[in-house]
Structure 1
Amino acid sequence: MNCSLCSGSTSWFYNFRNMDYYKCGACSSVFLHPKYFLSSDEEKARYEEHNNCVDDKGYQKFVSPIVNAVKERFSIDARGLDFGAGTGPVITKLLSDEGFSLELYDPFFWNNPEVLESTYDFIVCCEVIEHFKDPLKEFKLLRSLLNPGGVLYCMTEVYSEDRDFEKWHYKNDATHVFFYHKDAFKWIKDNLKFSRLDINGRLIELER
């Protein structure tokens, strides 16, 4: 089986709850075998369990790295997209309060395909990319939606070899199917022709 991001060769890595995970020998990422993916209905039901209230102060603090990065880089006349906005689009709420304009897209909760026909100065993608069942397809789409010089802001937990995968809470969510190593983001930058990559903890910036 080849990696669903970079097409590198993979090997069996771990079994959790009778589900098999594989590791890519090229980009070093870890991913769930597709035969264990939830159905769309199961996936949506899991997301509906999330208690993502836009007015929750803890939730607002959690997304603050993306909010602050956008505010530092762009003025309010920049056009943004909240991709994978979920049930509580708190980033859009916080940036809108500052005067920014964002469109919302989520295949389950904001299924507005028309917004994918425009381009944007920035895209925010918070706790979304680990859900990508076809990460190469999704990152190609995201790059195509950026204007030249535009920035894709992602937040996720980055996998590394020093993590104890058995104890890593991030894998326990059945909707988390792809865990990116820093080498995976380097591969995305180089192969999808982004001009800049910056990894700062959970915050990843890819500039077109």
Structure 2
Amino acid sequence: MLDPLDYLSQEEEKERYKNHNNDVNDPRYQKFVSPIVEKVRDHYDTNHLGLDYGAGTGPVITSLLEKEGYALRLYDPFFHLYPKKLSIKYDYIICSEVIEHFHHPYEEFKSLAEMLKPKGSIFCLTSLYNEEIDFETWYYKNDDTHVFFYHKKALEWIRNKFDFSDFFIDGKLIKLTK
């Protein structure tokens, strides 16, 4: 976890996100998020409502799923700030390359868990830390907007604390289910 004194200002953080290449038509970007897209397709249909939490400037997952008839809402504290969307219950929530940006992970996961309908799922995409990684040379920590890193043990704690019935990890993909 990064010392909060070292966090970027909100203006600096927003500028960094504006410089990300988040082109929804980029096939490489589409392939990168495909694990979440495939899991949503496997577990939900077009009658379910999803939230793309931390959607950023290029909500590629929403774009891909909406083309297939899925209904998703966008929320992002910098680019899609619509607090009313946080009072709705969702069948699933997507956090693609988002949770490592949480300044207050406890509060964020509590809020996400409260927004889920029973049996709902959160799909996260992030690089997990483990003992085999040399933190000093780990590329993922070098992004100034990455302020919190997760280990499998942290996800187990989140699962238990917020009453998720199940979770699994497959590479960078994490699924937490109520």
Aligned to 2:11: 41
Aligned to 1:121: 91
Can you give the 5+ residue segments of structure 1 that lack an aligned partner in the other structure?
A: 1-30
Partner Cα separation in structure 2 for residue 109 and residue 172 of structure 1: 23
Partner Cα separation in structure 1 for residue 80 and residue 8 of structure 2: 20
Partner Cα separation in structure 2 for residue 112 and residue 74 of structure 1: 24
Higher strand share: 1
| Identity across the alignment (%) | 54
The AA in structure 2 aligned to 1:190 is N
What secondary structure does 2:137 align onto? coil
Aligned to 2:174: 204
Q: CA RMSD in A?
A: 0.5
1:167 and 2:157 matched = no
Partner Cα separation in structure 2 for residue 78 and residue 204 of structure 1: 20
Aligned to 2:71: 101
Q: TM-score, normalised by structure 1?
A: 0.85
1:110 CA displacement: 0.4
After the TM superposition, list the runs of 4 or more consecutive aligned residues in structure 1 that deviate by more than 4 angstroms. Answer: none
Can you give the 5+ residue segments of structure 2 that lack an aligned partner in the other structure?
A: none
Count of matched residue pairs: 178
Partner Cα separation in structure 2 for residue 158 and residue 90 of structure 1: 22
| Deviations 1:89-126 (CA, angstroms, capped at 9, x unpaired) | 00000000111000000000000111111010000000
Aligned to 2:103: 133
What secondary structure does 1:114 align onto? helix
Q: Which has the larger radius of gyration?
A: 1
Q: TM-score, normalised by structure 2?
A: 0.99
